[in-house]
Amino acid sequence: MPIEKSSKTIMNIFLVILFSILFFFLFSSVWGFYIAIKPPRFISNLTPKDLGLEYEAVSFTTTDDILIKGWFIPHQSKLGAEQVLRQNKDIKTIILLHGYPADKGNILPGFIHLVKTYNLFLFDFRYLGESGGRYSTAGAKETEDLLAALRFLRSRRVHEVGVWGFSMGGAVALMTAPQAPEIKAIVSESSYARLDLMGRELYRVPFLREPLGSLTRLWAWLFFGFDPKDVSPVKGAKNLQIPVLIIHSKTDELIPFSHALLLQEALKDNPKAEFWFGEELVHGQFGETYQKRIQEFFEKNL
């Protein structure tokens, strides 16, 4: 009898440990998935007017009925925003795409120098900033936001654009461009290569990344009907023959440099692809020559 009781005790302890481990993985992955699609909403107080720029506040709707809020900033001229959009066809437009989970105001100060040459168009991705939507998909459905922005610009007689995107914004640009002939040149800074790989990066403990990343991938498929592995700037990049500049820091602490190498491999057959890999810089910081490099790239290719 003591042996039977001992065996039952051991079995009960084993079951408790097993269920505790299962609960930990399920809870951690669900929580990780939840905070990924519901990040804190950041709304910048900065507007173009605060920087002395004339602008038009605009809104448009995606095919899945999400209201997107944005700004159109005309290049520095005597024409107003509405007049530039409707009358001046020679001035090129650059779309600026923010990262996750920021907003359009967050990236504006670094690019006001471009307004001397180009119109600028910024918008908040779904759920973020001032835009509508109940959740973010970190790039999976945000391609619809960029396509809606292009449709809006087409309605205003803008048919050729350059795109600069940071982090998630860079990923969205690379994934959208193959189905958007209006996009003539892309600067993609600190983009991820595949969303499923980033799902693993959510978890800092190495041995937890694979199981928790796989579960997070499962929740995306169950709740939203897409596989994060298919959310792939790498696939998009393979289909591009337009000028592309990939920017990444070798010491990026949020999106590892390995993602940049995957994108470089995907673009190996594109003779117009350029790569700028920095040393000892953090996510989103690229030194004093950065603005000049961006300006030169668009002047050459747009």
pLDDT beyond 70 at 89: no
Q: How far is CA 142 from CA 62, 88, 90, 242, 268, in A?
A: 10, 29, 29, 21, 26
d(CA 65, CA 202): 29
The closest alpha carbon to 294, from 188, 139, 140, belongs to 188
- CA dist 68 and 170 (Å) reads 18
Q: How many CB atoms are located within 10 Å of the residue 276 CB?
A: 18
Using the predicted structure, report yes or no on whether residue 254 has a pLDDT greater than 80: yes
Q: Residue 258: pLDDT above 80?
A: yes
pLDDT per residue as tens digits for the range 264-296: 999 999 999 999 998 866 666 666 688 899 999
Model confidence at 244: pLDDT above 80: yes
pTM score of the predicted model: 0.89
- Distance, CA of 64 to CA of 49 (rounded, Å): 31
pLDDT on residue 12: 73
The answer to whether 124 touches 98, Cβ cutoff 8 Å, is yes
Where in the chain are the domains? 38-194+231-301
Q: What is the pLDDT of residue 268?
A: 97
Band the pLDDT of 18: cuts 50, 70, 90: confident
pLDDT for res 229: 93
Residue 235 has pLDDT above 60, yes or no: yes
| Separation of alpha carbons 82 and 5, rounded Å | 83
For 55, other C-beta atoms within 10 Å of its C-beta total 21
Arithmetic mean of pLDDT, 186-207: 88
Q: What is the pLDDT of residues 68-83, one digit of tens each?
A: 999 999 987 655 555 5
Task: Enter the tokens of residue 86.
Answer: 């409707």
Q: CATH topology for 38-194+231-301?
A: Rossmann fold (3.40.50)
pLDDT at 214 over 80: yes
Look up tokens 């090129």; give the residue: 92
Determine the Cα–Cα distance for residues 155 and 295; give it in Å rounded to an integer. 27
pLDDT at 21: 82
Q: State residue 84's pLDDT score.
A: 52
- Find the mean pLDDT for residues 187-209: 87
pLDDT at 87: 52
Confidence class of residue 207 from pLDDT cuts 50, 70 and 90?
confident
Q: Are 259 and 197 in contact (CB under 8 A)?
A: yes
What would the mean pLDDT of 221-237 be, rounded to a whole number?
Answer: 94
118-162: pLDDT as tens digits = 999 999 999 999 999 999 999 999 999 999 999 999 999 999 999
